[in-house]
Amino acid sequence: MNARKEPPHIEAVADDRFAVAVPDTAAGQRLARRLSTLPGCIDAVGGVAVVECRFDVSAVAADRFLDDLERAVRTHADATAEKTVEPRGRRHTLLVRYGGEDGPDLDAAARHLGISADELIESHTRIEHSVALLGFTPGFAYLDGSDFDREVPRLKQPRQFVPAGSVGIAGRRSGVYALSGPGGWQIIGRTDAALFDRDAKEPFVLSPGDTVVFRRADD
Amino acid sequence: MSPTPPSLTVIDAGLQTTVQAAPRRGLRHLGVPYSGAADPLSLALANRLVGNDLAAPGLEVTLSGLRLRTHAACRVAVTGAECTVLVDGQPVALHEQLSLEAGSEVRMGGAETGVRSYLAVSGGLVVDEVLGSASTYLPAALGGYRGRALEAGDRLIIAPAPAGESPRQTPKRYRPEFRGRWSLRICPGAEFASLTQESRERLLAGRYTVGRRADRMGVALDGVVLNTDSTGVLDSRPVFPGTVQCPEGGQALLLGVDAQTTGGYPRVAEVIRADRQWIGQLRSGDRLRFLLRDRKTARRDYAAALDFWREWLPGIEALI
């Protein structure tokens, strides 16, 4: 179907989108920033192991965009190979109220993990998390770093409304809601930290590559 | 004391009326959905009749109608889903420029076919831009009028009307009609290959019914079960309006303008860009089928659609 000149790591996934395979989420985030500057690129979105570019068919021909995309991916890979030091993100300490109204799923999540709620909080506040990507809803940050030894299931019935500042876990990840929204993660607590500034150049405080440390608000 | 700015007040906001304008493009890497008018063509058509920019903030009225009162003389126009419109009790037509006196009551009835009707007012509504657009994104309370759907008593400020004439009515050929039967063109999605052979055939041969869930985030498609060989939830992958996701139950979900930016279900198909602007008018109970397009033809379909629409709506490519 697609025997043209596309190298194997780039694939058309819609009439106006290409997917680029990447080795890991962090590499995808860096590549997405580069690709977002391509002429005619509307959005460059990193997922897990993939970056997708939506281009504007009314502004640039598909072949032209694909050429630019291939070149950018190649030069980005070369530049990354030469670079030895990765830029360091910022470090955030978020005070979290665990359990109760702010963390209605704390006990259930702990049960899934076969540990007590206190042990879950202890683990969650001990570990340095890193922001893998933003996505799903505005500013929602997926955090790596948990050392759970099994996966935490999502809620069977997702909530229509999860308040801003909520901290959840699902799979082996943590997540932080910058704004209120729907969600199926197990909510274990909530922070009052300002995570969104609508007038800032970077409206969401957490950014891929940043480090996040959680602390009990009542400590 | 400064004079009171021209305004409208809401008497009855119906099921869900929001201020909508342009999409928020270029922010999906931050998790920000496009948002904007669910039927951007109809918003543009309404704005055209009152001399506004095509993306000027107007009202998106969902299914059940709207009542409001003007507090200044203004021009308005109603487009989109077919509904009755009364001005001070007198019926008026969609797709016409209406000159209203201060103190007029506009009453829009429920949508007869389609889902969303649009009301534009000369000058456009004054609301804050958040993240580059005045559009309301309800789940995160962003943009529009206080980030929420309108309620009775809300007062909306109208910006100064643009100078000059605007057309009296939309030419007949530019009036979309929603008849409850849809053929949407698709390209195979990134995980098309994860469909079983039978399901690939069903995806195209199937006759779908739009399900009960049909909102700005997406539309459930009943009547066809699609099976994939994927087990459970995939890692997060980018999704866009027009993506057809296939969750575990096998009931396809077609994503709309408020769709989240990433998702974990197989993306079995993508509605082509030329047809995405219709998704916001899919109504529960409507019949739908998919037509397969190769990507090159799909791009030509979009170019042809632009050629057609640009003549009446110059700059429409920013919205569709």
Q: What is the pLDDT of residues B177-212, one digit of tens each?
A: 999 999 999 999 999 999 999 999 999 999 999 999
Q: How far apart are CA B19 and CA B56, in angstroms?
A: 10
Residues A115, A159 within the same domain = yes
Hey, which residues does A131 pair with through a beta bridge? A143
- Using CB atoms within 10 A of its CB, is residue B162 exposed (0-12), middle (13-18) or buried (19+)? middle
Residues A118, A75 within the same domain = no
Calculate how close chain A gets to B36, using CA atoms only, in Å: 15
- pLDDT one-digit tens code per residue, B88-144: 999 999 999 999 999 999 999 999 999 999 999 999 999 989 999 999 999 999 999
- B212 touches A at CB < 8 Å: no
Query: CA of A178: which chain B residue's CA is closest?
Result: B140
> Is residue A5 very low, low, confident or very high in pLDDT (cuts 50, 70, 90)?
very low
- pLDDT one-digit tens code per residue, A80-106: 776 655 567 999 999 999 999 999 999
Indicate the number of domains in chain A: 2
Residues A21, A44 within the same domain = yes
- B28 touches A at CB < 8 Å: yes
What is the CB neighbour count within 10 angstroms for residue B208?
Answer: 23
pLDDT over 70 for what percent of chain B? 98
ipTM, interface predicted TM-score of the complex: 0.94
**Per-chain mean pLDDT for chain A:** 91
* CB contacts, 8 Å: A179 with chain B: 140-142
Calculate how close chain A gets to B13, using CA atoms only, in Å: 22
Start-to-end C-alpha separation, chain B: 43
Is pLDDT larger for residue B145 or for residue A25?
Answer: B145
C-alpha distances in Å from residue B121, one per residue of A44, B22, B55: 35, 16, 12
Residues A184, A101 within the same domain = yes
* CB contacts, 8 Å: B26 with chain A: 36, 42-43
- Residue A106 is part of which domain span? 91-216
Residues A97, A202 within the same domain = yes
Decide if pLDDT at A4 tops 60: no
Decide if pLDDT at A217 tops 60: yes
Decide if pLDDT at A6 tops 50: no
- pLDDT one-digit tens code per residue, A151-184: 898 888 889 899 999 999 998 999 999 999 888 8
CB spacing of A14 vs B306 below 8 angstroms: no
- B4 touches A at CB < 8 Å: no
Nearest CB among A43, A48, A181 relative to B26 is that of A43
Going by C-alpha positions, the residue among B178, B30, B196, B52 that lies closest to residue B111 is B178
> Is residue A2 very low, low, confident or very high in pLDDT (cuts 50, 70, 90)?
very low
> Is residue B1 very low, low, confident or very high in pLDDT (cuts 50, 70, 90)?
low
Contacts of B190 (CB under 8 A, 6+ apart): A11, A13, A19, B237, B267
- B193 touches A at CB < 8 Å: no
* CB contacts, 8 Å: A36 with chain B: 26, 29
Asked whether B186 and B269 are in contact (CB, 8 A), the reply is yes
- B174 touches A at CB < 8 Å: no
For residues B215, B218, B223, B226, the Cα torsion angle rounded to the nearest 10 degrees is -160
Alpha-helical runs (H) found in chain B: 40-49, 197-205, 295-312
CB spacing of B236 vs A139 below 8 angstroms: no
Residues A126, A204 within the same domain = yes
> Is residue B231 very low, low, confident or very high in pLDDT (cuts 50, 70, 90)?
low
Question: In this structure, what CATH number is given to the domain that contains residue A144?
Answer: 2.40.100.10
* CB contacts, 8 Å: A154 with chain B: 233
CB spacing of B142 vs A179 below 8 angstroms: yes
Decide if pLDDT at A13 tops 60: yes
Question: In this structure, what CATH number is given to the domain that contains residue A51?
Answer: 3.30.1360.40
**Which position has the token pair 């965009």?**
A65
Give the residue-averaged pLDDT of A24-41.
93
Please give the single-letter amino acid code of residue B92.
V
CB spacing of B190 vs A19 below 8 angstroms: yes
- B303 touches A at CB < 8 Å: yes
- pLDDT one-digit tens code per residue, A100-127: 999 999 999 999 999 999 999 999 999 9
Q: What's the pLDDT score for residue A83?
A: 65
Q: What's the pLDDT score for residue A3?
A: 43
Give the residue-averaged pLDDT of B65-72.
97
Residues A74, A153 within the same domain = no
Give the residue-averaged pLDDT of B27-56.
97
Residues A191, A210 within the same domain = yes
A63, A82, A101 - which closes a domain: A82
* CB contacts, 8 Å: B267 with chain A: 13
Residues A170, A189 within the same domain = yes
Is pLDDT larger for residue B250 or for residue A174?
Answer: A174
Give the residue-averaged pLDDT of B146-168.
96
A18, A47, A82 - which closes a domain: A82
Query: CA of A180: which chain B residue's CA is closest?
Result: B140
Decide if pLDDT at A30 tops 50: yes
CB spacing of B270 vs A13 below 8 angstroms: yes
**Which position has the token pair 């030469």?**
A82
All domains of chain B in start order, with CATH: 7-174 (no CATH), 181-318 (2.40.100.10)
Give the residue-averaged pLDDT of A209-216.
96
Q: Is residue A133 part of a domain?
A: yes
- Lowest mean pLDDT across A44-58, A112-126, A170-184, B224-238: B224-238
